[in-house]
Amino acid sequence: MSCDEKVDCGRRRLLLATATLGGVAGVATAVPFVASMLPSERAKAAGAPVEADFSKLLPGQMMAVEWRGKPVWIINRTPEMLASLKKTDAKVSDPDSLKLMQPEYCRNETRSIKPEILVAVGICTHLGCSPTEKFKTGAESGIDPDWAGGFLCPCHGSTFDLAGRVYKGKPAPDNLEIPPHMYLGDAKILIGEDKKGA
Ligand code: FES
């Protein structure tokens, strides 16, 4: 096994542990791994990049992985969802994300590397609650008859579009953060590390 493969194995183990957190089995398997590490190793693992495979994520679906104790969403946007970003441009407070809430390589219309795949930290930029997915559009959303799909923060009502851009007049000051990430394959990303030094 080469050195690179060993590193990958480590990442996979971390991802497996985080993916099962919340279940009794997850706690049972994660604890011995963490307990066997020295404090400096533990700190390193807590900030380590995390691999995510989204090959089973269908258009219109999202999944979450844990990175540095935060939920990171991966959303597979449909063409309709992408088209909605044009409509929300005028309604969001920082349409071009000039406040740099994303790495340089995601400073584009879709705030992503691949247009359809959004990778964003699922933490509201107001006081840190986790927004909920509101992909249903229009009156069916229960938010607004013109709702184009996005996210609603249950704490104080901030709303975000399908690129994680915050709507005007809401308590959240910034768009959702896009973490550094890079593609390891067509449907596999590494979150927390990139080759472009973001
Ligand atoms: S924490 Fe999200 S709106 Fe306040």
Catalytic residue among 6, 12, 86, 156: 156
In a domain, 198, yes or no: no
The predicted model scores a pTM of 0.78
Q: Write down the pLDDT at residue 38.
A: 65
Q: How far apart are CA 74 and CA 179, in angstroms?
A: 11
Ligand 1 atom with the shortest distance to the CA of 128: 1
Mean pLDDT along residues 23-43:
51
Q: Is 156 a catalytic residue?
A: yes
40-99 pLDDT per residue, tens: 676 666 789 999 999 999 999 999 999 999 999 999 999 999 999 999 999 999 998 888
Establish whether residue 158 lines the binding site of ligand 1, counting it when its CB lies within 6 angstroms of any ligand atom.
yes
107-128 pLDDT per residue, tens: 998 999 999 999 999 999 999 9
In a domain, 120, yes or no: yes
Residue 5 has pLDDT above 50, yes or no: no
In a domain, 63, yes or no: yes
Amino acid at 195: K
Dihedral of the alpha carbons of 197, 14, 119, 174, in degrees to the nearest 10: -80
Ligand 1 atom with the shortest distance to the CA of 153: 2
If residue 83 lies in a helix (H) or strand (E), which one and from where to where?
A: helix 79-88
> DSSP class of residue 46?
H
| Gyration radius of the chain over CA positions | 18
Do 66 and 87 sit in the same domain of this protein?
yes
Tell how many helices (H) and how many strands (E) occur in the chain.
4, 9
Q: How far apart are CA 15 and CA 5, in angstroms?
A: 15
Q: Write down the pLDDT at residue 44.
A: 63
In a domain, 197, yes or no: no
Do 163 and 118 sit in the same domain of this protein?
yes
* Gap from CA of 42 to ligand 1 centroid (Å): 31
